[in-house]
Structure 1
């Protein structure tokens, strides 16, 4: 949620002409930023359980061919899903229109055009493979996580394209693929594959960090995450095993990753004798990220979500029943729930809407330019959340300067390591950034940061709430000294929170957002394998910053943005609220792995294979995945192989989309990193560089700072002489 009202899209008309959840997610974020959003919906949508969350705060028009053509004629922004609405003839895009097409596999590659559902894309992209217990089959999450992440990335791409439109007078096409989003979501697992280690599911553990797991208590389950050396030492004190912190086997992140069973025995022996509340009190007092696993039906009563207005109750006009809908993530906290329109309630639209154009229009931009050219971003980020936003802003052309403490981003210390001691996860998480090491407790380094901020448009950070305040860099202080600065904090529970200063990591937030309770294996709540809370926090921060930059472009205004990972993760689960359930998905073993089948029960699958249902398991285990798929559905609309991470890395679709690329560092190295999923046709996002080793000096940045310090000293001398 943003702490300030920012409506940079006021006066713009956005049309949703597609039925993917990502389409409505993108439209909802643009609605939060002030756009008028009109949804073209057909009769089947009127009674769908997902309709309240998709339509809240929007308008409804019956989706006839004529209505869609008229809507797209007047829209400033059109959001479509052409693979699932292939029978709709979309009119040609106007030169000044932004059109975003969200599909399963994008506009290129061997899988392009296949209208795969969320569950099947989770299988193709490897995110199903990394979800679930190691001793069980892969899991598909019931919440459409890739759709929701794709919706956030689509909104970011649309905002970047609107910036180009307002500055240069040209619209463009945008291609967002769920598959691209899924491959990007494997960021925590790619390092294991790159290092030649198994990259697969492991229940509620983390792929490369430990301790990180759910533990039984006397009355439930508690999630505990203490991956840094300092957190591990404090956890050992809490559980009464201080000697474990000094053990040579467990003293480092790499050692802990090798001894997961030993760590879990130490922690669970302590939690089993206590209630959830007692465990959380002790862990909170020690500053250990932890939380209870909350049921999705209890979200509206969760204290922080109620405080922040994340989940609100509205009335469904179709049946006058009370339903839950998400409050605005990027705007003013609402006291009144957004209105859900009746089906087809909007009969007429005004003539072509045009957002008020601000400033002069420069039509000299060439295809291939960057949407954020000329924007400077300062990143004070650790781990995933702010670094994700920073690398996407960098791919869009911003000059991103990453501030690291003398010890570096903690991801520089997280295994697995290359032979040269570099860390894969840091390289994957930090591209298109220049770096500088500052100790912000040192007055001279603090002045250096202020010098950088005086030249910056944006500051993004995801430190524990209050950390920058104690160093003199509170939002209030910075807004006084740098009034035009867009200041975006991305934290677990927000600065405006009932959990003041509470630390949070990905799985703790999943636990406290209903996500784990909704995803069960043999009845046990299970986290999504991908770091969905981290990623959504970064993606929503990215969207909020791009929205605030549109206002900044217009009048130089700054903004204070307060993004909570908990808000973002709850928002991502909205399509399984109000009794809605996804299409059933069966995960079935084959001779060389697993296959996901959607919309067909086991009896139907057995019939297609020509066997009895009780023979299904033995039959499929004798078939390869390709043989299984050819026998059941060669069109690939109902079935997909559950790919491993290594198979995703080597897949033709991954190569065709250019999702893994080798990029250089300024100190002569190179890393395999992720390409951006933001595919803007005229002004594409492009990953160009990886970050060097800690402390390597960027010559241009060093010269700039030297000149700034010299000017500052000269001014001080002149003042002293007068």
Structure 2
């Protein structure tokens, strides 16, 4: 792989979404990512729906640009193999429940002892302390505990709503990848590795505080219930579909009034300032909806564009991949996977003009790189066959080669 992280080796011990996608982001940017999986089982995501050629869609989308090896980390010899890998690595990513890696002997202290320059990312749901630290966690629990469901509802007085994508998992992956890059940069300056701890709870609360926790920011202005938002959102029904209109500035509000054919709204004191438009959000949105329903998407988008008002059609996922802007920006790319067949995926989103990465490598089959990776550690074919026979290394593809 070539890219800005060329020469960086990442050991991915994680499963599901947050850890694997963090590693995937680094792999897409040029790192050599080795995914260590449970022999003959692998990451649970391998077994999910939307499958082709024995591969699930989620797995091929968050585990590309990796090599797969299968090692039994419950066996001391398996742990020794991992430690040999770690000795050659720059980064380890793990999202086991708190305490598991320490019991296995692969915690930060264990691995930093053999590689002091190691960057070690521990990802968890709730963190390592507190009453929920050891609880099993899924995305919906984090959405509930962070207040994200109230934000999605539009108000604390409305029925809470889940965001219908695993935002906490995905956000944690992005924050994790950024934190690793920052730690690698720090290591370039001071030569030292470090342990990074990141919980989904922390990631989402930080995310929300940027724009959704204003009522709780000023401690001398206590708020008991959050009224901000509305049961009506910024999606408007037109005569033939739906659009969204964003009017944050006074100029955009005035332009929208002109575009909708109601310049008299500009003089309405309720809506003349950002604060007024927020305080009177329900009345404002109902007023706009009563006008927009009378004509088509095409008509309103044209009028809004002529008045320099940000607006967009509401697209289905099938429509997104055919939208002229998406096509012009070449965001969706096609490539062939040797097992899953032709794939359509989003390209690496950040375009590195000085160190452009090579196209992502297809997600690996379980244990596909056992021979390749373990031979790099000096384990020969005979020794590999013995490890397979004793169930320390998976017998997926290594077994076949070991009998040659």
Scaled by the length of structure 2, the TM-score of the pair is 0.75
**Aligned to 1:629, what secondary structure does the other structure show?**
helix
**Aligned to 2:245, what secondary structure does the other structure show?**
strand
Cα distance between partner residues in 2 of 1:692 and 1:494? 31
The alignment's C-alpha RMSD in Å is 3.4
Match of 1:154 in 2: none
Say whether 1:422 aligns with 2:75.
no
Say whether 1:532 aligns with 2:167.
yes
Q: Flag structure 1 segments of 5+ consecutive residues without an equivalent.
A: 1-367, 713-722
Cα distance between partner residues in 2 of 1:589 and 1:550? 48
- 2:43 is aligned, of 409, 426, 433, to 409
Asked if 2 retains the 8 angstrom alpha-carbon contact of 1:675 and 1:686, the reply is: no
Q: Flag structure 2 segments of 5+ consecutive residues without an equivalent.
A: 218-227, 248-252, 266-283, 385-404
Asked if 1 retains the 8 angstrom alpha-carbon contact of 2:260 and 2:291, the reply is: no
Match of 1:470 in 2: 103
Say whether 1:608 aligns with 2:261.
yes
Asked if 1 retains the 8 angstrom alpha-carbon contact of 2:42 and 2:366, the reply is: yes
Q: How much does 1:380 deviate?
A: 1.1
Deviations 1:460-511 (A, max 9, x none): 1112222222222122222223322111011111224453322222221121
Cα distance between partner residues in 2 of 1:447 and 1:373? 26
Asked if 1 retains the 8 angstrom alpha-carbon contact of 2:260 and 2:292, the reply is: no
Asked if 1 retains the 8 angstrom alpha-carbon contact of 2:49 and 2:56, the reply is: yes
Q: Which has the higher mean CA deviation after the structures are superposed, 430-439 or 672-681?
A: 672-681
Cα distance between partner residues in 2 of 1:667 and 1:632? 47
- 2:213 is aligned, of 577, 582, 585, to 577
Cα distance between partner residues in 2 of 1:471 and 1:436? 18
Asked if 2 retains the 8 angstrom alpha-carbon contact of 1:431 and 1:687, the reply is: no
Q: How much does 1:651 deviate?
A: 1.6
Q: How much does 1:441 deviate?
A: 1.4
Match of 2:246 in 1: 598
Q: How much does 1:529 deviate?
A: 2.9
Q: How much does 1:626 deviate?
A: 1.6
Match of 2:398 in 1: none
Describe the shift of the 1:380–1:687 C-alpha distance in structure 2 as closer, same or farther (beyond 3 A): farther
Q: How much does 1:690 deviate?
A: 1.6
Q: How much does 1:402 deviate?
A: 0.7
Cα distance between partner residues in 2 of 1:709 and 1:417? 33
Q: Which runs of 4+ in 1 moved over 6 A?
A: 580-584, 609-616, 708-712
Equivalent residue runs for 1:290-301 within 5 Å: none
- 2:202 is aligned, of 536, 550, 567, to 567
Deviations 1:617-646 (A, max 9, x none): 676445331222223444563322112211
Q: How much does 1:401 deviate?
A: 0.5
Asked if 2 retains the 8 angstrom alpha-carbon contact of 1:484 and 1:559, the reply is: yes
Cα distance between partner residues in 1 of 2:260 and 2:342? 52
Q: How much does 1:413 deviate?
A: 1.3
- 2:235 is aligned, of 569, 587, 603, to 587
Match of 1:46 in 2: none
Match of 1:544 in 2: 179
Asked if 2 retains the 8 angstrom alpha-carbon contact of 1:608 and 1:631, the reply is: no
Cα distance between partner residues in 2 of 1:495 and 1:615? 49
Cα distance between partner residues in 1 of 2:229 and 2:139? 24
Describe the shift of the 1:493–1:609 C-alpha distance in structure 2 as closer, same or farther (beyond 3 A): same
**Aligned to 1:425, what secondary structure does the other structure show?**
helix
Cα distance between partner residues in 2 of 1:566 and 1:582? 23
- 1:482 is aligned, of 115, 124, 128, to 115
Say whether 1:557 aligns with 2:192.
yes
Match of 1:641 in 2: 313
Q: How much does 1:708 deviate?
A: 7.6
Cα distance between partner residues in 1 of 2:260 and 2:99? 61
Q: How much does 1:669 deviate?
A: 4.3
Q: How much does 1:709 deviate?
A: 9.3
Describe the shift of the 1:550–1:668 C-alpha distance in structure 2 as closer, same or farther (beyond 3 A): same
Asked if 2 retains the 8 angstrom alpha-carbon contact of 1:664 and 1:671, the reply is: yes
Asked if 2 retains the 8 angstrom alpha-carbon contact of 1:678 and 1:685, the reply is: no
Match of 2:393 in 1: none
Describe the shift of the 1:645–1:707 C-alpha distance in structure 2 as closer, same or farther (beyond 3 A): same
Match of 2:4 in 1: 371
Higher RCO (C-alpha under 8 Å, 6+ residues apart):
2
Say whether 1:506 aligns with 2:139.
yes
Describe the shift of the 1:555–1:607 C-alpha distance in structure 2 as closer, same or farther (beyond 3 A): closer
Match of 1:625 in 2: 297
